[in-house]
Structure formats: C-alpha cells, structure tokens
Amino acid sequence: MQTFIKDLSQKVGQEVTLKGWVNNKRSSGKIAFLEIRDGSGFVQAVAVKESLAPEVWDLIDKSTQESSVEITGTVSKHPKQEGVYELQVVSCKLYSLASEYPIAKKEHGPEFLMDNRHLWLRSKSQWAVLRIRHLVKAGLQEFFNGNGYIELDTPIFTPTSCEGTTDLFEVQYFDRKAYLTQNGQLYLEAMCMAFGKVYDLCPNFRAEKSKTRKHLTEFWSLNPEIAFINHEESLKIQEASIKHVVKYVIEHGKEELAILERNFDDLRAVVGKPFKHYEYCDAIAELKKRGAKIEYGQDLGADDEVLLTEDSDVPVIIKNWPKNIKPFYMKTHPTNPELVLNADVLASRGFGEIIGGSQREDDYDTMLSNIKVAGLPVDTFKWYLDLRKYGSAPHCGFGIGIERTTRWIAGIHHIRETAAFPRMLNYLEP
C-alpha cells in the first residue's frame, strides 16, 4: 500500500512504500541520498550499497533527476533535525528513467523558466507557492462558508463591461459580440438580493497591456456581495477575512512558508493587530509628505502603494475616493458628493492592493444617471436597474485577488509564480 510523505511522522519504525520522483541525488559510490517528492512533500531516502541486492543498487545508481520511482524502506527520524524523517531504502522500482533534465541546479532567467513552466512547477519553491495558493482559497472559503455565505457562479461570457470598456477581451458569441468577464459583481448583486450573503470564486479577464510584477491578464478572485450592510461594516468583514486566511496559512502551511523563508513574525502581526485606515485625502497628504509626486484626484501607482505600506506590518485601508476616478456603481458619500463609499486594501510591506470594494448605489434614478454619464448602454443594464426598482436595499461587495494575496503571504516578488500557468501580456504558452 502506498504511503504519502506527509504521513511519515506517523510511521516511524515501519516499512512503507513511496511512489514519486527523484528530486535530487548524490552518491559516494557506496551510499546514495535521494530526495524524493510525491506531491505531498519531500523526504530523503538513504540507500546503502552493501545492504541492498545488486539489482536494487543498480536501479538507484542509474536513476536520474525526475525519474519516477517506487521506494520501499523503513521510516526513521533524522539524526540531526527535529521533526524531519528519512527512509532507509530496502528496495526500489523504476517506472521511468528521465532524460537529462533541462532545469539544472543553477540560475536560470525568468524567460527560460516561463518557457519551461510545465517543468518549473516541480521545483520546491514553486511547489510551496502553489500550495499556499490552495491554502489561500481554502482559508477564504472556510471563512465565508462559516459565516453564512452561499457560493454561486457568475457567467464568463458577458454582454458588456462592469468596470469600463478599455480592457475587455472581445469574443464572437454566435451572431453577436460578447466579452470575457472582468468581474461577476453585477450578477452577484442580483444574487445577494435573493440569498442575502453570496460569493463567487472564479477567473477574471483584463486586456490590460501591463508588464508589472502585479498584473495578469487572467486572474482569480473571491467576490462577496452582502445585503443590508453599510460601507464601514463591509470593511470590518474584509479585515476579518484577511486575518482569517493569514492565520489559516500559518497553521496549515508551515512547511511551505519555511521553504520560502517567509518571515512568520510579519504574518503573525497581520493576525494580531488592527489594520490602518486612511481617508483618501489623508493618504495623498501622507504620500506627499513621504516624497511622492501624486496629486489629489489621481489613482495610486505601484510606487505609491509601496511608499505608503513598506514600513507597515499590517495592511492599510484607503477609503472614500473621488467619484470621478471610480466606476459608476459605487454609492456617493452621504456628506460629500464628490466622493464615493469605497476602499482599497493594500497589503503590508509594500505588496500592493489585494482587495477593492465599495458600497453599491441602491437608488434607481442615481444609478440610471451614473450609467448614462459613464456612456454605457442603458438597455444592456435594464436588468441591473431592476434591482433598484424591485426591493432595493443597501448592499456592499468587494473582491479579494487570489494571486495577489498569495504573492503577499508567500513573500514572492513576481505574481507570475502564483499561477500554475500564468497568462500575461507576453505569455500564452505553455
């Protein structure tokens, strides 16, 4: 029966069989050390020539990096490292002898690694990052499922934009044009009027010609939409969800975070301290004080986000932005008609925006006016206006970027490492 590496701590002294791949090998001719990976973890298998049948040693001796193998041996504690286990090899079966592996143990440029993404996924660092991505999704779903939310799906094909038309991917939909979704928010608003608290977890598409370390053309987000709450209540939910997911990753991803040499103290601070809040106007003033050239009425650039958060050990929330730089669906601030009730959550230590959200405009006439001012086709949004016509209610929503949150928690420089097969301006293959 196959045993998985993640379970070896429960098998000390027992003979087990692992099935996996040779991640690394070194041999003196009399003893060989094979690092085996099986998807659940990594373990060192120790093979002593004089203790093995000649044919078993020959298989081990000729095995190459990424050869697929079945290794049987006795589980033992590592003699020097607490909590680490080894396998004392008894027998070996070779499933496939790998050709010379193109990703050598040396520095490779990002273009080479991206061209070989199908193989780069096997590296220890990429294994750790993508498992953290899984934990981010699982932790967020645990939070929202545990707080009465219903997960529902929104369409990928849409008839129009929800955030402006400049970065839509156009596709042919039978005899008419359609677009890949930028975000399922408008549909979630309809669903929250039926179910109260909903979210989707799905891909979004932006034809944005950006090459920054924070942008993908296809990315995933988790998007809650909640009826009968206001903007400040939404911000509390956003903060609680981020604290929960960071705590979840710390608890379930210790090995992965250790492989990436992530600072655990930084992550624990996120869980244990309240987030910082800035009004938009105060954030601009603070940035100018720190030397930024930004002016009131401008969106924050990547450098501004870094400057405002690089010395903060908790995320920073910037709220109540100028109306003229935000989408049509955001609710006007009750005391300042030049502002809207929205917020961006910027990750600590300069990692940039991870959440964007707002209270939604719930008045029919105001929404109709907003759509017209934005130059959007009223007929296409008739169904959306109906939400303000039949039982309108105050409601809020926000989107949590899966890749951006993963990048921050994992401490990764570039977002391309947080997707198995990232889609970027210059990358459509493999």
Angle CA 194–198–200, to nearest 5: 125
Backbone angles phi, psi at 67, to 5 degrees: -65, 140
What per-residue confidence (pLDDT) applies to 108?
86
Query: In this predicted model, which residue has the larger pLDDT, 166 or 34?
Result: 34
Give the mean pLDDT of the chain.
Answer: 94
pTM: 0.94
pLDDT tens by residue, 411-429: 999 999 999 999 998 888 8
pLDDT tens by residue, 223-257: 999 999 999 999 999 999 999 999 999 999 999 99
What per-residue confidence (pLDDT) applies to 163?
59
Residue 291 · residue 310 · CB < 8 Å: no
Q: For the domain made up of 5-96, give the CATH fold.
A: OB fold (Dihydrolipoamide Acetyltransferase, E2P) (2.40.50)
How many Cβ atoms from other residues are within 10 Å of residue 50's Cβ?
7
Residue ranges of the chain assigned to CATH 2.40.50.140: 5-96
Residue ranges of the chain assigned to CATH 3.30.930.10: 117-418
Tokens of 106: 């040396």
Please say if the pLDDT value at position 356 is more than 70: yes
How far is CA 396 from each of CA 76, 163, 224, 368, 372, rounded to the nearest angstrom? 54, 16, 8, 18, 22
Q: Is 89 in a helix, a strand, or coil?
A: strand
Task: Indicate the pLDDT class of residue 215, thresholds 50, 70 and 90.
Answer: confident
- Residue 140 CA to residue 402 CA, distance in Å, equals 9
Backbone angles phi, psi at 210, to 5 degrees: -120, 140
Please say if the pLDDT value at position 164 is more than 60: no
- Residue 115 CA to residue 29 CA, distance in Å, equals 35
Give strand ranges (E) for 123-217. Answer: 150-151, 157-158, 170-173, 176-180, 197-205
pLDDT tens by residue, 369-424: 999 999 888 998 999 999 999 999 999 999 999 999 999 999 999 999 999 999 99
Closest CA to 138 of 151, 155, 154, 125: 151
Question: DSSP states of 372-386 as a string?
Answer: HHTT--TGGGHHHHH
Q: For the domain made up of 117-418, give the CATH fold.
A: BirA Bifunctional Protein; domain 2 (3.30.930)
pLDDT tens by residue, 29-69: 899 999 999 999 999 999 999 999 999 999 999 999 999 99
What per-residue confidence (pLDDT) applies to 162?
59
- Residue 89 CA to residue 279 CA, distance in Å, equals 62
Task: Indicate the pLDDT class of residue 161, thresholds 50, 70 and 90.
Answer: low
Query: In this predicted model, which residue has the larger pLDDT, 337 or 162?
Result: 337
Residue 97 · residue 210 · CB < 8 Å: no
Give strand ranges (E) for 295-341. Answer: 316-319
Q: Is 387 in a helix, a strand, or coil?
A: helix
- What CA dihedral angle connects 139, 143, 145 and 147, to 10 degrees? 170
Q: What's the whole-number mean pLDDT along residues 337-349?
A: 97
pLDDT tens by residue, 71-103: 999 999 988 888 889 999 999 999 999 999 999
